[in-house]
Homo-oligomer: A and B are copies of this chain.
Amino acid sequence: LGMQGPITQSEVRVRYAETDQMGIAHHTAYLVWCEVARTDYLRSQGIAYRDLEAAGLRLPVVHAELTYRAAARYDDVLVIRCWVSQAASRKVVFAYDISRPADQRLLATAQITLMAVDSQHAVTTLPAQVLGRLVVAGGRARR
C-alpha cells in the first residue's frame, strides 16, 4: 500500500548443528535465519525487539510460508534479504529471500506474518511509532 520500507541484508554461516543426515541444512533452520534477519531489520529501523518485549508487546508468528529451491550446506555463507511486504495495525508480513553468494543461487523464499499481542497473549495493536518506523525507508522516521 505504497510502503517504501528498506530491504536489509543479514549474513549467516550454516552451523554444523543445523545440518541433518541428508547432508543439508534442516528445513527449520531457514525459519531461524529469517528470525535473525527480522531482528536486524527492526534494528535498522531503530527498533530493538528486546525493548518492545520489555514494554509488554509480543510479536508471535501466526503464519509462515517457505519455498525451498536449493539446499544450503554446512559452512555455506548465506545472505538473507528481508523487507516488510504488508503492515497493518495488528499484523506485519515480512518477506525474505535467502541466497548463497558463492554460486549466486537463490535457495529459498519466505513470507512470515507476525501478530501484535500483549504480555497476556491477547491481540493488541502495534504502537503507531513502531508501525511508522517499520515501513519508512532508511529508517528516516528516527529523526
User: Which residues of A pack against B, CB within 8 Å?
Assistant: 13, 15-17, 19-24, 26-28, 31-32, 35-36, 39, 48-50, 53, 58, 60-69, 71, 73-75, 121
Q: Are A16 and B35 in contact (CB under 8 A)?
A: yes
Which of B58, B66, B71, B121 has a CB less than 8 Å from the CB of A60? B71
A15-B36, A20-B16, A36-B15 are known contacts. Are A68 and B60 too (CB-CB below 8 A)?
yes
Residues in B whose Cβ lies below 8 Å from that of A68: 60-64
Assess the A71–B22 pair: CB atoms within 8 A. no
Q: Is the CB of B16 within 8 A of A21?
A: yes
Question: Is B63 touching A75 in the complex (CB atoms < 8 A)?
Answer: no
15 A-B pairs with CB atoms under 8 Å apart are A15-B32, A16-B35, A17-B20, A17-B28, A17-B35, A21-B21, A21-B74, A22-B60, A28-B31, A28-B32, A31-B31, A48-B75, A50-B74, A64-B68, A65-B65
Query: Given A66-B63, A68-B62, A75-B48, A32–B20 Cβ distance below 8 Å?
Result: no
Contact between A23 and B21, CB atoms less than 8 A apart: yes
Q: Are A67 and B74 interface neighbours, CB within 8 A? A: no
Listed from nearest, the 9 A-B pairs whose CB atoms lie closest are A19-B21, A27-B61, A28-B28, A65-B65, A17-B32, A21-B23, A64-B66, A28-B31, A62-B68
